[in-house]
Amino acid sequence: MLILIMTMQQTSLLCFAYTPRTSVNMSWESPAILSDRLQRPPPLFSYSFPKRHKLPTIPTQRLEFQTNSSPSKVVLFSHEEPPHYTNHNDNVDSSELTSLTATNNENDNIINGLLKQVFLGIEPSPEILAIMSIYFVEGALGLARLAQTFLLKDSYGLGPAELSAYTGLFTLPWTIKPLYGFLSDSVPFFGYQRRSYLILCGIIGTLSYGIIAFSNTLPLLQLTIASLITSSACIAFSDVVADGIVVQRTRDSNDLNIAGGLQSLCWGSAAIGSLISSYFSGSLLEVMTPQQVFGITAILPAIVAFIAFFITEEESLIKSNLGIKGIQTQTQSLWKAIQSPLIWKPALFVFLWQSTPTSDGAFLFFMTNDLHFGPEFLGRVRLVTSAAALIGVWGYQQFLRTVPIKDILIWTSVASAPLGLIQLLLITHANRSLGIPDGAFVFGDDVVLAILGEFAFLPILVLAAKICPKGIEAVLFATLMSIFNGASTVGTELGAVLTKYLQITESNFDNMALLTILCSLSSLFPLFFIGLLDDVVGTKSEADMEQQDLE
């Protein structure tokens, strides 16, 4: 700590260069030199005293000053990089200044370092926290996923093919995401383009889950299906609005941390929400009915409605693009954008990538009816898988952002196909001959596949965000994600057709191995079309694309 007794002129400028646990170096510098210095990261602060001066913000510092006419005052400053000036309503008369004490808080430095690691270098503003919370809730809505499966499987008596077909039906609202983008971009709702829609979706989502949860008797299958589709639509609409906010913040920011880390931060938040809800999605079914689990889940959309009030948004001034006219304008802009090879080629690849058939529905019945795994165990599997997905997000951010996107997609596909075939050991029970318990085998296989899945999914998200032109970012990003989700629906329905054709039922798994082989090998098919990405990414990595945007 150093006390300085100073007499200063009105235009004098004093600069202190700080290092922890060392003395303070004092030097007089010109404004030009100081301006250059302010672009450097802390520890550094500057202080100028005109005749009447507002106290500036100083990073990681505690400043105490005393004047002839006032007692000692202490001002705590923020941790911005580079430092910015904020009005603290403390006017200093330099002629009265008698002492200045400045200290560097090392605990603050440690806390700031931890925050930077957790938030990937992004300042955790209320809006950033609100956006992360929306994605967190989207992940936490998985709390009802197993309840939905067991409700349809046990309460309504659906078989593997029927369950797979309905699962594809529940994803249909995710295939019309451009419509939600049109509305949020062109039709303000109660004066806002983002916030009001989040509130509306939260309310309707809560009501949809409530219909299933609070009915005195089991609702008709048709009513349950309609409620699940409606709740899925609300989640999809909220996702579009949140994605539009993220894309806009990413595009408009000159901060490399936001440009490169916001997508990973948001999807990491979703993974954490999924992680927390995963185990309880199964364990709650051990002590509750599926309808009661839906009652708990109904709270989550209401949380989204509340969080929406923390999204920074000015009241929309859009008047001419209301209703049909606005949608027509957006449709024309979207159609013009899609005609560009820089957009339709990656979109086609995304569709091929995601539309290969899946055996998930049949495999679920195999685990419950043949291996006799209960809801609690399946919840633990989802917990471990969600944790693995979170590791995948972290691993991609740390090690793969500088790897060419095409290379990531190629090698994740090549690695995933043989790993998918390892399930044959479980299906034929050969793992038991090797001394590997069924449960341990399921855990190991799912962990590796979940990590590889995140390695492949995050580059797709980055690619979709980077090719969105200004003005239609929400609707075009929603279109690309609709193609992704529509392709998933196609893959699920193809899996249902194969399941039906191979005569796999809730008690007959004779052709389960063949279904697994077909689905695993088909995942290599999109690699024949990897050249569709040449015009967009070439040999570039995510980091290369971000640097190119900022140049």
Distance of alpha carbon 368 from alpha carbon 126, whole angstroms: 44
What are the pLDDT tens digits along the chain (551 aa)?
A: 333 333 333 333 333 333 333 323 333 333 333 334 334 333 333 343 333 334 443 343 444 444 444 444 444 343 343 333 333 344 444 444 444 444 444 455 555 555 555 666 666 667 777 888 888 888 888 899 899 999 999 888 899 999 988 988 898 898 887 788 778 777 777 777 788 889 999 999 999 999 999 877 777 888 999 999 999 999 889 888 887 777 777 666 666 556 556 777 787 788 788 778 888 889 999 999 999 999 999 999 998 888 888 777 766 656 544 556 666 777 788 888 888 888 899 899 989 999 999 998 999 999 999 999 999 899 888 888 878 887 888 899 888 988 999 999 999 999 988 888 999 999 999 999 999 999 989 888 788 888 888 898 888 888 887 777 776 776 787 788 788 888 999 999 999 999 999 999 999 999 999 999 999 999 999 999 999 998 888 888 888 877 776 66
- Provide Rg for the chain, Cα atoms: 28
Closest among 106, 2, 97, 104 to 48, alpha carbons compared: 97
Give me 493's structure tokens: 């329905």
Closest among 224, 72, 206 to 152, alpha carbons compared: 224
Distance of alpha carbon 387 from alpha carbon 389, whole angstroms: 5
Distance of alpha carbon 512 from alpha carbon 499, whole angstroms: 8
Q: How many C-beta neighbours within 10 Å does residue 114 have?
A: 10
Phi, psi at 472, each rounded to 5°: -130, 30
Give me 376's structure tokens: 């609690």
Distance of alpha carbon 288 from alpha carbon 400, whole angstroms: 42
- The pLDDT, as a whole number, for residue 324 is 60
Closest among 128, 121, 124, 139 to 311, alpha carbons compared: 128
Name the strand (E) or helix (H) holding 488.
Answer: helix 473-501
Q: Tell me whether residue 219 is exposed, middle or buried, using C-beta atoms within 10 angstroms of its C-beta: 0 to 12, 13 to 18, 19 or more.
A: middle
- The pLDDT, as a whole number, for residue 124 is 62
In the chain, which residues fall in CATH 1.20.1250.20? 119-322+336-542
Beta bridge partners of 99: 66
Distance of alpha carbon 521 from alpha carbon 6, whole angstroms: 77
Distance of alpha carbon 70 from alpha carbon 80, whole angstroms: 29
- The pLDDT, as a whole number, for residue 74 is 41
Record the pTM.
0.68
- The pLDDT, as a whole number, for residue 371 is 94
Name the strand (E) or helix (H) holding 432.
Answer: helix 430-433
User: What is the DSSP annotation of 6-33?
Assistant: ----TT-EEEEE--TTSPPEEEE--HHH
- What's 92's DSSP letter? E
- The pLDDT, as a whole number, for residue 475 is 72
- The pLDDT, as a whole number, for residue 141 is 87
- What's 314's DSSP letter? P
Give me 151's structure tokens: 């409700």
- The pLDDT, as a whole number, for residue 318 is 60
Distance of alpha carbon 333 from alpha carbon 344, whole angstroms: 14
- What's 367's DSSP letter? I
Domain 119-322+336-542 maps to which CATH number in 3.40.50.2300, 2.60.40.420, 1.20.1250.20, 3.40.50.300?
A: 1.20.1250.20
